[in-house]
Chain A
């Protein structure tokens, strides 16, 4: 094993064998050591939210990670590779440029388009895939709230654990927590910026945020994307609620009932909420 250990001899077979063995052990120790050192560095850094989102996003099913351009029929099938951050996506940039060139616009859509499968999703705001909305205010701030789908899934009795005014938010980082029936559900922040005011479940909004000067909201859904997105979200909810024996048993084309939790008392609601709010 080692030159001073009984039985060791400086012969080719011994040297080759032990060199290979020590190399393998060295690679294993180095790989784990590297992972441990990086993990310590990550713990000290302030990027824990980013890592959590990266891990969660990769754990989501393919259906949940569908690219927004599938909703509008730009492509037939595509999985988002960017953690829903379209700001850095070349694919999204190219499609957006094509649409602008073609003169397609979403402004001035009829009010009835605000209804998506019985859910009111006003078109004066932008939507995040984690079921929050963002509205640009006249003073330059952004108000953030929970969309109708998110509210319907949680229904009554949810309280919120909101960040303090002055806290910094990052896109897809921790926005706030919803507390219901012993579950603590993380809601993703749809925007970057500093929290200037907080609301809550009983208020018009949850957060008011002062975005950075170079604010970029291209990652948020809007206009024509909303209705197909909600349709798919209802399918995702059906999947999360489906019993093993029966499969998906909500009628296609139906609307969400007012209080889902009452209608599915035996469901693993903690699992359902986390699935819907993208925390698998």
Chain B
């Protein structure tokens, strides 16, 4: 039915099966759209957030997908700036994933702002002393970069390529890609950092507060390093997932191993920095507040196990597997390690958002737990469904993996 639109040389499932795959996600999308409509029309009283819990599921989602979306800028950086051309095999997929992550994050932020019609205020009257302002400017600009990077991938569609205007624009856009990759890297470094800095500057929240260098708390740097460490792992994991779901071999093993090695090296650096930072915070920052570091881990379910899980199980273990086992282990183990890395980044962002706000900060404060309303969950699922649908359409109609057609021949590599 839609064969004439599928990339040449790529074999895709019949349209009927593809439609069946899309259907449940479309239902989820519609449900999420309704929840978003409720939030926009009736206000944020549709959520379980309040003045104490001003950050909830949506901010956790934002932080997580922006961190995972770092694979896009980092792959672009590695290909165009560091000249690791073998990663071209996953570059288009990384761009699409990045575009989905950032557009999803901005979409949910628009709902979270409460009055999206006034979202432009942040640009028109920026408070340049706020980390959030930097984040807003950077992710908006970076989404623009990703949209520009997505355009040539779209214009390579089998039918669109036949239109001369698209052909030449795509050809010329390719020439400026290194500039865009550079700009994307610059923007990403800053907004990943500022998202971390956002928590590090919270003096009233000793659990999150960190000292640092100049105006930048250590969380600024930790967020950057953790995002660039998780980015390649997320690309590896999604490529494997798409490969399993579609039943196609999309990249050669050496590409997977390279991604794993890059992720492993950066993760080791991150684990080291995180450990030093945690020790410094426990032994210097917190005592200066007149508190005991371990007092923050007395509140179930956020006991010390969560720190162990984050640093050791989701940090050190996958880092060692990715690095030490890079050549010996089967790709499946590397994918499993990447899964652990992605879990680690999600847990870190969860801890920074939810645990920070749950813990009491004043003597009369109580420990609070927050659970999202169905509207929040549905809006969250809207972004997930949106991502799956956009990626599925891109995978079906665009050439996301240039090695796909030739990969069959390379079986057994």
Q: Choose among B172, B403, B406 the residue that contacts A35 (Cβ–Cβ < 8 A).
A: B172
**Roughly how many angstroms separate A280 CA and B180 CA in the complex, as a whole number?**
26
With A31-B179, A247-B408 already in contact, the answer to whether A51 and B168 are too (CB < 8 A) is: yes
Q: Choose among A24, A55, A243 the residue that contacts B167 (Cβ–Cβ < 8 A).
A: A55
By a CB distance below 8 angstroms, the chain A residues around B183 are: 24, 27-28
Closest residue of chain B to A267, judged by CB?
B11
* Chain A: interface size category: 35 or more
| A21–B137 touching, CB < 8 Å | yes
With A21-B137, A244-B408 already in contact, the answer to whether A43 and B125 are too (CB < 8 A) is: no
List residues of chain A with CB under 8 Å of any chain B CB: 1, 5-7, 13-14, 17-18, 21, 24-25, 27-28, 31-32, 34-36, 38-39, 42-43, 48, 51-52, 54-55, 59, 61-63, 235, 239-240, 242-244, 247-248, 268, 270-271, 274-275, 280
Min CB distance, B247 to chain A, in Å?
Answer: 6
* Beyond A35-B169, A55-B171, 4 additional pairs, beta carbon < 8 A: A1-B126, A5-B124, A24-B186, A240-B9
The stretch among B47-55, B141-149, B319-327 that forms the contact with chain A is B141-149
B3 at the interface (CB under 8 A from A): yes
Q: Choose among A28, A36, A38, A48 the residue that contacts B141 (Cβ–Cβ < 8 A).
A: A28
How many residues of chain B have a CB within 8 Å of chain A? Answer: 49
Main secondary structure of the interface of B (DSSP, over half): helix
By a CB distance below 8 angstroms, the chain B residues around A38 are: 168, 172, 175
With A28-B148, A275-B9 already in contact, the answer to whether A239 and B125 are too (CB < 8 A) is: no
| A239–B173 touching, CB < 8 Å | no
Min CB distance, B71 to chain A, in Å?
Answer: 21
B328 at the interface (CB under 8 A from A): no
By a CB distance below 8 angstroms, the chain A residues around B117 are: none
List residues of chain B with CB under 8 Å of any chain A CB: 3-4, 6, 8-11, 123-129, 133-134, 137, 141, 144-145, 148, 156, 161, 164-165, 167-173, 175-176, 179-180, 183, 186-187, 247-248, 399, 402-403, 405-406, 408-409, 411
Min CB distance, B133 to chain A, in Å?
Answer: 8
**Roughly how many angstroms separate A55 CA and B171 CA in the complex, as a whole number?**
7
**Roughly how many angstroms separate A52 CA and B403 CA in the complex, as a whole number?**
21
With A55-B171, A244-B248 already in contact, the answer to whether A35 and B176 are too (CB < 8 A) is: yes
